Amino acid sequence: MPADLPSTLLFLGRLLLGGAFVFAGLRNIQNAAFLTGLMAARGVPQARLALWAGIVLQMIAGVLVMAGLWTALACAVLVLFLIVATPMFHNFWDHQGPDRAARINGFVGNVALGGGFLTLIAQSL
């Protein structure tokens, strides 16, 4: 096994985890009007401002994870982001059929992302 394999894998893992949030932030910009309406319908105060704050947060924290800068803090912020966003956007308990299955998949995917971030936090301590 090459001596630098662990650092290469860690780098690739940071790129994938952080990159997922940068990509999601870009998609959220494209869907801002829809997401603002969804958040307002769920009772989020100042939904537009909250959405844009979330987009900025997820993109900046994602870039920090990718770059390996303040990794533990950026990962902790993204875990908190997931705790807030996951039940809001992947509320499978309110749906039936294929829509429920898709939301369960999103929920489980976000739980897995949270696990990846907790692993990166542990690695960086």
The structure's pTM equals 0.90
C-beta of residue 18 within 8 angstroms of C-beta of residue 63: yes
Is it the case that residue 94 has pLDDT exceeding 90?
Answer: no
At 2, the pLDDT band (50, 70, 90 cuts) reads low
List, for residues 40-54, the tens digit of each pLDDT value: 999 999 999 999 999
At 124, the pLDDT band (50, 70, 90 cuts) reads confident
pLDDT above 70 covers what percent of the chain?
98
C-beta of residue 76 within 8 angstroms of C-beta of residue 121: yes
The CA-atom distances, in angstroms, between 92 and each of 81, 84, 86, 97, 100 are 18, 15, 10, 10, 5
H/E stretch holding 114? helix 97-124
